[in-house]
Amino acid sequence: MEELPLISIALCTFNGEEFIKEQMNSLLSQTYSNLEIIVVDDCSTDNTAFILNQFVLNHIKIKLYRNDKNLGYNRNFEKAIKLCSGEFIAMCDQDDIWDKDKIKIQFEAIGDSELIYHDSEFIDSLGNPINFKMSDKFNFYKGKSPLPFLYMNCVSGHSVLIRKSLLAHIFPFPDGFHYDQWLAYIAADKGKIDYVEKCLVQYRQHDKNTTDILAVRSKHQKTSKEVKIEKLKQESLWLKVCAEHSSGFNFDLVMKLYQLCLKRNSSFVNFSYGLKIWKNEESLLFLLKKNKTSKFFFTLRKIWGPGTKRIV
């Protein structure tokens, strides 16, 4: 019988003592047998490292690394992924719970795709279901176009399995942006991506989550004018880095969007930017699980520049 390829799990931790045991046990219960678990702790000051050391003593699949200085979320994952030896690599957060068949199902389904992801079930901090899935919020995309990932993202890092060959295109992760959206964009530009409809992770929501995917915190926070203006600048930077890593038609469109975005950022309003988005809304707004009217108003909000944000 042919041996299964090695699959690496890249797990990043930081002050995760509350949930790390449950997560580690779910990783060690995977039915896919040929695994290594690469853990990189980003200078935790609680008992996370001690807990991880106990697992290392009892399981040869686990390799634990501790950073000399705090790298932050994106850079820590970048380091963890580079330490992986497997033909395929799965990303892992410290506070979720994996289905025991997660890796097995994704490996069997990846085919010739560069990346495959799956649906996730949201749970609260105590592990109770909140009756909401990632697919309730977003349309899922599969195919060869990166354009759906320019303005939004349905691919969570914990849901991703990638080919090691993709590593030649993804480093360094761009500063200031979520690495999972970057992976999805690059994988779809260089090859194709696919997804599994089944929920394979219980995605824990709590006040320390890096991403506020359900907008729980933002509902209670008033966004300042300065923050709104900074988001406009971040949008143009994101479009720029995506254009620089795009090919063919993708490059032409994303570069045009970047140029129009820059003009929007130096004015009160730029209707051309919104018009360009709307003309390509079938791809650019594919993930948005809304009707045509809602997509139009999403586009309309994109035309307003810093001058308007300072007034409103």
Residue 213 pLDDT greater than 70, yes or no:
no
For residue 212, is it within any domain?
Answer: no
For residue 127, is it within any domain?
Answer: yes
Question: Does the predicted TM-score (pTM) go above 0.85?
Answer: yes
Give me Rg for the CA atoms of the chain: 20
Query: Do 192 and 236 lie in a common domain?
Result: no
Whether 117 and 195 have beta carbons less than 8 Å apart is answered as yes
Query: Do 138 and 18 lie in a common domain?
Result: yes
* Rounded-to-integer distance, Cα 85 and Cα 167, Å: 12
Mean pLDDT throughout 236-258? Answer: 95
Of the residues 177, 204, 231, the one at which a domain ends = 204
pLDDT per residue as tens digits for the range 100-157: 999 999 999 999 999 999 999 999 999 999 999 999 999 999 999 999 999 999 999 9
Place of tokens 């979720």: 96
Of 91, 100, 6, 116, which is closest to residue 40 (Cα–Cα)?
Answer: 91
Query: Do 230 and 146 lie in a common domain?
Result: no
Mean pLDDT throughout 72-90? Answer: 98
Q: What proportion of the chain, given as a percentage, has pLDDT over 90?
A: 88
* Burial degree of 197 (CB within 10 A; 0-12, 13-18, 19+): exposed
Query: Do 260 and 297 lie in a common domain?
Result: yes
Q: Residue 138 pairs with which residues in a beta bridge?
A: 288
Which residues are within 8 A (CB) of 248 and not within 5 positions of it... i.e. 6 or more apart? none
Can you give the pLDDT at residue 8? 98
Residue 217 pLDDT greater than 50, yes or no:
no
For residue 30, is it within any domain?
Answer: yes
CATH number for the domain that contains residue 82: 3.90.550.10
Lowest mean pLDDT among 90-99, 215-224, 269-278: 215-224
Which residues are within 8 A (CB) of 290 and not within 5 positions of it... i.e. 6 or more apart? 298
For residue 214, is it within any domain?
Answer: no
For residue 21, is it within any domain?
Answer: yes
Query: Do 173 and 256 lie in a common domain?
Result: no
Query: Do 127 and 78 lie in a common domain?
Result: yes
Residue-wise DSSP of 85-127? -SSEEEEE-SS-EE-TTHHHHHHHH-TT-SEEEEEEEEE-TTS
pLDDT per residue as tens digits for the range 27-43: 999 999 999 999 999 99
Query: Do 279 and 136 lie in a common domain?
Result: no
Whether 235 and 247 have beta carbons less than 8 Å apart is answered as no
Number of domains comprising the chain: 2
Mean pLDDT throughout 177-202? Answer: 97
Of the residues 178, 204, 230, the one at which a domain ends = 204
Work out the mean pLDDT of the chain and round it to a whole number: 94
Can you give the pLDDT at residue 147? 98
Can you give the pLDDT at residue 208? 67
Query: Do 25 and 150 lie in a common domain?
Result: yes
Query: Do 251 and 128 lie in a common domain?
Result: no
Mean pLDDT throughout 69-86? Answer: 98
Query: Do 131 and 237 lie in a common domain?
Result: no
* Rounded-to-integer distance, Cα 193 and Cα 191, Å: 7
For residue 209, is it within any domain?
Answer: no
Residue 229 pLDDT greater than 70, yes or no:
yes
For residue 117, is it within any domain?
Answer: yes
Can you give the pLDDT at residue 311? 63
Can you give the pLDDT at residue 180? 98
* Rounded-to-integer distance, Cα 91 and Cα 76, Å: 11
Of the residues 148, 171, 204, the one at which a domain ends = 204
Query: Do 179 and 237 lie in a common domain?
Result: no
Mean pLDDT throughout 55-84? Answer: 97
Full domain range(s) for residue 294: 222-311
Residue 248 pLDDT greater than 90, yes or no:
no
For residue 235, is it within any domain?
Answer: yes
Query: Do 200 and 58 lie in a common domain?
Result: yes
